[in-house]
Amino acid sequence: MLTDVRIEDTRWRALEFAALAERGARAVLSELGVAAEGFEIAVLACDDAQIAVLNTEFRGKPTPTNVLSWPSEERGAEVAGDMPALPVGPPSPMEAELGDIAIAFDTCAREAEASGTPLADHCLHLVVHGVLHLLGFDHIRDLDATVMEGLEVSILGKLGVGDPYCEKRGV
């Protein structure tokens, strides 16, 4: 398994979240041509209270958020719009861990309802988003955001999920 999922909030079980996380993570690596074998991603499926603690501790923001990511190493592109330094396999034991993701049920459910998106689709999007962060993609600089969002749309489309950014683009 690529993902090691720890479910802290039992509401995640109804979504079969472990399978959803595995599917999303594998789709990202496949899209980028990275063989999943030998790599691992730790995923914490929690609630708003727990993610707020993590968001406070690691980002200094004392509020809940939908997803947080902690890459095992910095892979980001130095030049805006360039591809990050993707891992190549098979990994050595020290390179096997791509990083950690935490995702909050309450925030995800609110966002899905507000956008009229099925909860499973929204959560799949956030897993894809989080895994891309682990691989060095970001959305702080405009060109990087364009690359990252384009990958998300492509990956999600292959998974049967619509474009989560269509409203942003005025589509």
122 labelled ligand-binding: no
Q: Which of 107-121, 130-144, 154-168 has the lowest mean pLDDT?
A: 154-168
129 among the known binding-site residues? yes
Tens-place pLDDT, residues 47-105: 999 999 999 999 999 999 999 999 999 999 999 999 999 987 766 666 789 999 999 99
Distance, in Å, from the CA atom of 5 to the CA atom of 45, rounded to the nearest integer, reads 7
| pLDDT score at 22 | 98
pLDDT score recorded for residue 167: 63
What gap in Å lies between CA 72 and CA 94, rounded to an integer?
10
- Domains in the chain with CATH codes: 3-158 (3.40.390.30)
Contact 36, 30 (CB under 8 A): yes
28 contact partners, CB below 8 Å, separation of at least 6 = 128, 131, 132, 135, 151, 155
Instruction: Cite the DSSP H helix spans in 70-118.
Output: 105-115
Q: Among candidates 6, 114, 127, 111, which has minimal Cα distance to 64?
A: 111
Instruction: Name the phi and psi angles at 35, rounded to 5.
Output: -70, 130
What pLDDT sits at residue 169? 45
pTM for the model: 0.93
pLDDT confidence band for 168 (50 / 70 / 90): low
Provide the pLDDT confidence category of residue 7 given band limits of 50, 70 and 90: very high
For 146, the enclosing helix (H) or strand (E) is helix 142-158
125 annotated among ligand-binding-site residues: no
171 pLDDT higher than 80: no
